[in-house]
Amino acid sequence: MTQDRFAGCLVGLAIGDALGMPFEGMSAEAIRQRYGQVTELLPAGRLDAGQYTDDTKMMLCIAESIVERGHVDPEDVARRFAEWFESGDLRGIGSTCLESILNLKRGISWRDSGRRGKWAAGNGTAMRIAPVGLIDYPDLERLREDCWATSIITHDNAEAVAGATAVAYAIARLVTGEADTRTLLPEIAALVEDSEVARNLEQARSLLSADTPTGDAVAVLGTSGYVVETVASALYCFLRTPDDFMSTVASAVMGGGDTDTTAAIAGAVSGAHNGVLNMPRHPLEEVEDSERLQALGRAIYRLASPQEDDDYDPTT
Ligand SMILES: [Mg+2]
């Protein structure tokens, strides 16, 4: 059911984020040695078990803006980023986002607020782009434009935009229930051609066809905060276990590095494919704002496909 996959995408992102939160910055080896297999939502620092970080906070700014405005409005998204900053509940905000939001607060337009240059190729826009993939799933051109517009608010960098577009496109395809997971990587790589993101996705495709175990593959693809690495690793984790949400997000965390963001992206993609109905009960119940996230997903579904009805069967 399509509506259920919209809900699964947003809550899946938060679950991946919360699962990875306690391990951010640790190496894969340290996580394995100290914790073995990661399956439970754990507390860390000021955050309780099940609480999400900046990744979900920023995604919520976009999702709530879409639901209120009915479409992607970058000016309104930028205003919500600034409002979130004012709340002080920043939960590990990245330096690129912080710098750009300070620009917004100085009165600089969303078109010029984003960081430029090679240090702006972080994963801070890919991590929050899921709602754009949902609202724009029927219109690929609009998806490209909206990915660009919401990305440059903080990351005015071609690789950061390509990474966000890759994630949004994966979600847009999967949420229909009609995507072929065997051809997803080449499809995405073709969409963001001539980028480092595409080159690492091609590498992921080679590793996948060689049946490389996930831990070995993500060690090659990378799990730093560099978007080129994050997107390829997150999609690899999904494509190794497309029908098993928990294995996907757990393997994204076990890769170490920017664990909350890699797992947030893997969780959004897997959630879009599996839907809430095929996700395990315990993280769905334990993650912060579970109902709200699912309701937002369903609201975006209604906006994206207003004349569609899940129960409508054209053959009867
Ligand atoms: Mg985070």
pLDDT score of 306: 67
Using DSSP's 3-state secondary structure scheme, residue 161 falls into: helix
Cα 269 to ligand 1 centroid, rounded to whole Å: 17
Q: 19 exposed, middle or buried (CB, 10 Å; 0-12, 13-18, 19+)?
A: buried
Cα 80 to ligand 1 centroid, rounded to whole Å: 18
In this predicted structure, the answer to whether residue 313 has a pLDDT above a threshold of 90 is no
Cα 17 to ligand 1 centroid, rounded to whole Å: 7
What whole-number percentage of the chain has pLDDT above 70?
A: 97
In this predicted structure, the answer to whether residue 308 has a pLDDT above a threshold of 80 is no
- What's the rounded Cα separation, in Å, for the pair 142 and 145? 5
Cα 39 to ligand 1 centroid, rounded to whole Å: 18
Please provide the distance, in angstroms rounded to a whole number, between the alpha carbons at the two ends of the chain: 18
**How many domains are contained in the chain?**
1
In this predicted structure, the answer to whether residue 282 has a pLDDT above a threshold of 80 is yes
In this predicted structure, the answer to whether residue 316 has a pLDDT above a threshold of 50 is no
Rounded to an integer, what is the distance from CA 143 to the centroid of its chain? Answer: 15
Across residues 136-148, what is the average pLDDT?
97
Asked if residue 309 is part of any domain, the answer here is no
Which residues lie below 8 Å from residue 262, measured CB to CB, with a gap of 6+? 16, 20, 218, 223, 230, 233, 234, 237, 252, 253, 255
Note the pTM of the prediction, 2 decimals: 0.96
Asked if residue 315 is part of any domain, the answer here is no
Asked if residue 170 is part of any domain, the answer here is yes
Cα 92 to ligand 1 centroid, rounded to whole Å: 6
C-alpha pair distances (Å), 190 with each of 7, 147, 198: 28, 16, 7
C-alpha pair distances (Å), 220 with each of 140, 194, 214, 236, 261: 30, 20, 10, 11, 18
Name the token pair of 84: 């979130």
Name the token pair of 193: 């051609």
Cα 98 to ligand 1 centroid, rounded to whole Å: 13
Cα 91 to ligand 1 centroid, rounded to whole Å: 7
For ligand 1, a single-atom ion, the residues with CB < 5 A are: 53-55, 92, 260
pLDDT score of 314: 46
Cα 153 to ligand 1 centroid, rounded to whole Å: 18
pLDDT score of 1: 77
pLDDT score of 305: 87
**Domain span at 275:** 2-304
Cα 308 to ligand 1 centroid, rounded to whole Å: 35
Asked if residue 208 is part of any domain, the answer here is yes
Per the CB < 8 A criterion, the answer to whether 191 and 169 are in contact is yes
Cα 313 to ligand 1 centroid, rounded to whole Å: 41
List the CATH number of the domain containing 97: 1.10.4080.10
Cα 266 to ligand 1 centroid, rounded to whole Å: 14
Asked if residue 311 is part of any domain, the answer here is no
Asked if residue 166 is part of any domain, the answer here is yes
Q: Which residue has the tokens 């129960």?
A: 311
- What's the rounded Cα separation, in Å, for the pair 132 and 260? 20
Asked if residue 127 is part of any domain, the answer here is yes
Q: How many other CB atoms are there within 10 angstroms of residue 76's CB atom? A: 18
Asked if residue 316 is part of any domain, the answer here is no
Using DSSP's 3-state secondary structure scheme, residue 141 falls into: helix
Cα 312 to ligand 1 centroid, rounded to whole Å: 39
Cα 260 to ligand 1 centroid, rounded to whole Å: 5
Cα 35 to ligand 1 centroid, rounded to whole Å: 20
Amino acid at 27: S
pLDDT, tens digit, 9 for 90 and up, residues 49-105: 999 999 999 999 999 999 999 999 999 999 999 999 999 999 999 999 999 999 999
Across residues 29-38, what is the average pLDDT?
94
pLDDT, tens digit, 9 for 90 and up, residues 214-264: 999 999 999 999 999 999 999 999 999 999 999 999 999 999 999 999 999
